[in-house]
Amino acid sequence: MKILDILDDVFPIASAIKNAYISFAEMTCSAVAVVTDQFRDGERVVGFGFHSNGRYDQQGILRSRMIKRLNQAGAHGFLNAGGTNVDPFKAWQAMMANEKPGGHGERSVAVGTLDMAMWDLAAKLEGKPLYRLLAEQHRGGISDDSVYVYAAGGYYYPEKGIEGLTEEMQGYLDLGYDTIKIKIGGATLSGDCRRIEAVLALLDSGQKLAVDANGRFDLSMALEYAQALNQYDLKWFEEPGDPLDFELLAEVAAVSRNPLATGENLFSMQDGRNLIRYGGLRADRDILQIDPALSYGLVEYLRVLKMLTDSGWSYRSCIPHGGHQFSLHLAAGLGLGGNESYPGLFFPFGGFADDALIKKGRIELADVPGVGIEQKKELMKLYRRMLTDNGW
């Protein structure tokens, strides 16, 4: 087996939305393709990768360091012992050559993007969906039949009032989601309570609302919100303060009756370990949202999971941020607690298979080799164009 080329390109995933901290009007995404000399059913086998929303494209780091190092290692530098498939762990080592520890910055996003392509490729060459490959490698072949997903939205759309918010949320419930999430922290506390109460009024028993402050609050505001939110029965209160302020989080955890959720802006096992050590989180209810596609990929995420197990946490406490096919496969294959979903946003990278249906807040995965990017027609058009433009 030979790797013939590693391509990258940049695409817009702009959305006219705002959370309490940023606008997504200029958001971009890097996509990569690892081209091989192998064919399955008459089609060339190519591994595809991209990263989650919320961080911009990584073209600089990809070209000047990560893809360059993979090319320098040569295909044999990251193939398995038999030379029949890629070894994502070896690819990871090659990419991280001469990188100092700590100060993770956004190189974790660039590595995560290529790591996704390596796993997509590894599963395709085995002729299996990634979730099945992972279940065989880590759970004695047992995978989850379906994955819990929740609909994240409720952004502060310019010009959208409470009526627009409830209309959007009702739309997610009608799609089959049982948990929906809205943003808070972009209005006053009383304004946010009105938003929350309007959405809670839509819910039947068994349906839940989560709220997300996107790291907006200082300590006193975070505590004020936590106490005000205690009057509601929420699925969780997400990212009350700066993602790296573990002491703030511990103080919020001490007063919050609602579960807390955080981790989407922690990009390494070491950061995750500090969160578990110092964030005051409660293993019996709180949720960890580290997003593998932003955080050095699955190779690093397996280290995160080991750290959690060693610290007395369950894999089921993990519900990754991002709403993409890659984390969905990790959830089904490794037995995570679920996955985020952004219905209709971050097109065409975000979301699941075009024909996937949400039933009672859960989604089933199809029996298609790899990560299932081929099940997303518009995303595949973009990758096909990228291959054609480069002579493949």
Q: Binding residues for Mg ion, per CB under 5 A?
A: 212
Active-site residue 183, yes or no? yes
CB atoms within 10 A of CB 51: 34
The nearest distance, CB 329 to Mg ion, in angstroms, is 21
Q: Which lies closer to Mg ion via its Cβ, residue 155 or residue 246?
A: 155
- Phi, psi of 154, deg, nearest 5: 60, 35
**Residues 193, 194, 195, 198: what is their CA dihedral angle, to the nearest 10 degrees?**
120
Token pair belonging to 108: 């974790």
Q: How far is Cα of residue 305 from the mean position of the Cα atoms in its chain?
A: 15
The nearest distance, CB 264 to Mg ion, in angstroms, is 5
Catalytic residue among 51, 124, 181, 183: 183
Q: Which lies closer to Mg ion via its Cβ, residue 192 or residue 212?
A: 212
Q: How far is Cα of residue 299 from the mean position of the Cα atoms in its chain?
A: 14
Q: What is the DSSP letter of 97?
A: T
Q: Which lies closer to Mg ion via its Cβ, residue 212 or residue 286?
A: 212
Catalytic residue among 51, 124, 181, 321: 321
Q: Which lies closer to Mg ion via its Cβ, residue 215 or residue 348?
A: 215
Active-site residue 128, yes or no? no
The nearest distance, CB 241 to Mg ion, in angstroms, is 13
Could you tell me which of 179, 181, 185, 144 has the C-alpha nearest to residue 165? 181
Q: Reduced to 3 states, what is the DSSP secondary structure of residue 45?
A: strand
Q: Strand 260-262 vs strand 287-288: parallel, antiparallel, or unpaired?
A: parallel
Rounded CA gap, 326 and 14, in Å? 21
The nearest distance, CB 152 to Mg ion, in angstroms, is 7
| Cβ-Cβ contacts under 8 Å for 5 (sequence gap 6 or more) | 33, 34, 35, 390, 392
Q: What are the distances in angstroms from CA 217 to CA 19, 42, 88, 160?
A: 13, 54, 38, 23
- Phi, psi of 181, deg, nearest 5: -130, 140
Could you tell me which of 265, 340, 260, 328 has the C-alpha nearest to residue 298? 328
Q: Which lies closer to Mg ion via its Cβ, residue 211 or residue 356?
A: 211
Q: Which lies closer to Mg ion via its Cβ, residue 134 or residue 294?
A: 294
CB atoms within 10 A of CB 98: 6
The nearest distance, CB 261 to Mg ion, in angstroms, is 8
The nearest distance, CB 192 to Mg ion, in angstroms, is 15
User: Which residue sits closest to Mg ion, CB atoms considered?
Assistant: 212
Q: Which run of H or of E encompasses 363?
A: strand 362-364
| Tokens 């880590």 sit on residue | 138
Q: Which lies closer to Mg ion via its Cβ, residue 3 or residue 253?
A: 253
> Please, which residues bridge with residue 209 across strands?
180
The nearest distance, CB 180 to Mg ion, in angstroms, is 13
Q: Reduced to 3 states, what is the DSSP secondary structure of residue 252?
A: helix
Rounded CA gap, 180 and 168, in Å? 10
Question: What residues are annotated to the active site?
Answer: 183, 321
